[in-house]
């Protein structure tokens, strides 16, 4: 009997985003990648047992129960020893390769894993024994000091070290003396740079941007692929149909190969899309610098230009990036466009089309980071909701929100209370398919951008009065437009019961639509 085993890092978002220091967020993301993509292969000494890995989990196939048990023991021991704070789950199921279809056994395996995660027997934490310094981020006992001299827990030290050993004093570095890293693994995201000799990503939130006398906002961008569950289910059903005359053993061997290849192709496609988009945004920066809408920051030591961007998670179709809020819509749009232009081969000459949605939470630099990420996810879900119930529709869309003050509740509460039950917003915005203009569609990002450029030229006094009219509803807004002879330029303020200009007025100081000629990187 063979054994399928799945390992998964649980509570990933809490592990990555619960601290307010970017270096820890980056290190946490890298640790999860390390655990689910690199560590299994290092323990096994090869990749022959690995069907797929990434996204916080890894699926493996073993020849016997003993092989599965020995690996699980060695793996979990290594994680518990080297990666404090990580919550790990493993599950296994046996199958007969001569009789059982592996697709059904994989479903059974994930059901078993889900039940195990739902039943956390005896799970508790002691936050303080009362005799030690505590870490501010985790409230666990401090295990040492960071490079700033602050007491931090072993979990924080591991995250800081994984981001960059220089974050941890020499004495504390000894804790990680047996970690097995390759030099290039310390900056997994470096390959996303358009030119690593000229640029580097921001390493601290303070490096994301900010201009004197301008409101300092950063953005958390969360992107997730559309209907991936349904697409993978369709892939499985087509495979079953194509191999119905094959023996289970032959079909299983082929499925493992194709499923692994598909997982890798999806990961490669999304990563390539992010790299392409960052390259395009880098090419736009000179225009932003020239207009004064962004300030160019340079690393004093390396003389490299610091991009106001920092990828945090690039795992399959799960993407999280933080950046200067003033380029966040541009960056999200370019990523979604790059995803739209890609597809992956699923065999038999068929392609799986890729689309995704984005949520952008624009917050002040000291806003709680975990909440900002949570809000970005809510916005992404809201963008997906516009077509999720329609099986025949699949398009990319984005939603965004600027948070002016402190924590304001859920997205639904914010839009109910501040946007008159969402009537003052026309979001989410769709990306026009294949870059073509959808005539008359006023809920597209292209229309929003064109409209934005019109309102940008109006005086602040007029816009303030117009904003007050929009609060009063369609009739008051139409009366204002008529009275000020703006009908030829604005052509109405509401569409299908939703205001199309309030979103623009809110973003006048933040959004930076590029010129009609796409910026090109200067040599």
Q: For 131-145, how does the pLDDT look when each residue is reduced to its tens digit (9 = 90+)?
A: 578 888 888 888 889
Higher pLDDT among residues 488 and 506, named by residue: 506
For residue 259, give the CATH number of its domain.
3.30.70.270
Strand, helix or coil at 497?
A: coil
Residues 365 and 470 in one domain: no
Output the six-digit token pair for 375.
């809000």
Domain assignment present for residue 486? The answer is yes
What is the percentage of the chain residues whose pLDDT exceeds 90?
57
Range of the domain at 466: 434-506
Domain assignment present for residue 367? The answer is yes
- Give residue 180's pLDDT: 66
Residue in 233, 279, 292, 249 with CA at minimum distance from that of residue 110: 233
Domain assignment present for residue 488? The answer is yes
Residues 244 and 308 in one domain: yes
Residues 405 and 494 in one domain: no
Domain assignment present for residue 520? The answer is no
Domain assignment present for residue 312? The answer is yes
Averaged pLDDT, 268-287: 95
Residues 315 and 456 in one domain: no
The C-alpha atoms of residue 272 and residue 476 are separated, in whole angstroms, by 48
Domain assignment present for residue 295? The answer is yes
The tally of domains found in the chain comes to 2
The C-alpha atoms of residue 363 and residue 218 are separated, in whole angstroms, by 6
**pLDDT tens profile 66-90:** 999 999 999 999 999 889 999 999 9
The C-alpha atoms of residue 449 and residue 516 are separated, in whole angstroms, by 11
Least confident of 121-135, 281-295, 447-461: 121-135
The C-alpha atoms of residue 424 and residue 421 are separated, in whole angstroms, by 8
Is residue 377 over pLDDT 70?
Answer: yes
Residues 222 and 276 in one domain: yes
Domain assignment present for residue 452? The answer is yes
Domain assignment present for residue 368? The answer is yes
- Give residue 523's pLDDT: 32
């Amino acid at each position: 009997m063979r054994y399928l085993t799945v390992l998964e890092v649980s509570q990933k978002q809490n592990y990555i985003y619960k601290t307010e220091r970017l270096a820890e967020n980056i290190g946490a993301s890298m640790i999860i990648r390390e655990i689910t993509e690199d560590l299994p292969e290092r323990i096994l000494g090869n990749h022959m047992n690995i069907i797929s890995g990434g996204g916080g989990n890894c699926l493996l196939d073993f020849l016997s129960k003993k092989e599965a048990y020995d690996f699980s023991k060695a793996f979990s021991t290594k994680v518990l020893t080297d990666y404090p704070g990580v919550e790990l789950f493993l599950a296994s199921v046996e199958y007969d390769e001569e009789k059982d279809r592996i697709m059904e056994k994989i479903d059974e395996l994930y059901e078993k894993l889900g039940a195990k995660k739902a039943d956390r027997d005896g799970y508790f934490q002691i936050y303080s024994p009362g005799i030690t310094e505590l870490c501010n981020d985790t409230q666990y006992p401090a295990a040492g000091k960071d490079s700033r001299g602050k007491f931090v827990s072993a979990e924080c030290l591991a995250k800081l070290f994984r981001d960059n050993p220089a974050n941890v004093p020499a004495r504390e570095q000894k804790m990680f003396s047996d970690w097995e890293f390759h030099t290039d693994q310390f900056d997994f995201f470096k390959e996303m740079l358009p030119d690593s000799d000229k640029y580097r990503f921001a390493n601290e939130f303070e490096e994301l941007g900010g201009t004197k006398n301008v409101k300092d906002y950063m953005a958390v961008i969360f992107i997730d692929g559309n209907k991936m569950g349904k697409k993978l289910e369709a892939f499985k059903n087509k495979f079953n149909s194509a191999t119905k005359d094959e023996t289970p053993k032959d079909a299983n061997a082929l499925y493992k190969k194709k499923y692994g290849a598909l997982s890798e192709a999806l990961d490669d496609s999304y990563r390539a899309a992010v790299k392409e988009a960052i390259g395009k945004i880098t090419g736009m920066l000179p225009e932003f610098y020239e207009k004064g809408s962004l300030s160019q920051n340079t690393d004093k030591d390396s003389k490299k230009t610091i991009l106001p961007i920092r990828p945090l998670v690039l795992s399959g179709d799960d993407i999280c990036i933080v950046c200067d809020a003033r380029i966040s819509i541009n960056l999200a749009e370019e990523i979604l466009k790059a995803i739209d232009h890609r597809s992956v081969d699923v065999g038999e000459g068929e392609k799986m089309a890729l689309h995704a949605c984005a949520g952008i939470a624009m917050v002040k630099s000291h806003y709680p980071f975990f909440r900002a990420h949570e809000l970005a996810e809510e916005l992404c879900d809201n963008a997906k909701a516009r077509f999720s119930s329609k099986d025949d529709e699949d398009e990319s869309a984005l939603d965004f929100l600027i948070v002016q003050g402190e924590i304001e509740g859920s997205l639904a509460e914010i839009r109910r209370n501040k946007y008159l039950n969402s009537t003052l917003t026309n979001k989410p915005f769709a990306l026009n398919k294949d870059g073509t203009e959808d005539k008359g569609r006023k809920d597209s990002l292209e229309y929003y951008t064109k409209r934005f450029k019109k309102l940008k030229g109006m005086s602040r006094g007029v816009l303030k009065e117009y904003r007050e009219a929009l609060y009063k509803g369609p009739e008051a807004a139409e009366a204002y437009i008529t009275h000020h002879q703006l009908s030829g330029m604005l052509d109405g303020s509401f569409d299908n019961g939703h205001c199309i200009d309030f979103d623009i007025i809110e973003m006048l100081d933040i959004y930076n639509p590029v010129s009609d000629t796409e910026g090109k990187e200067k040599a």
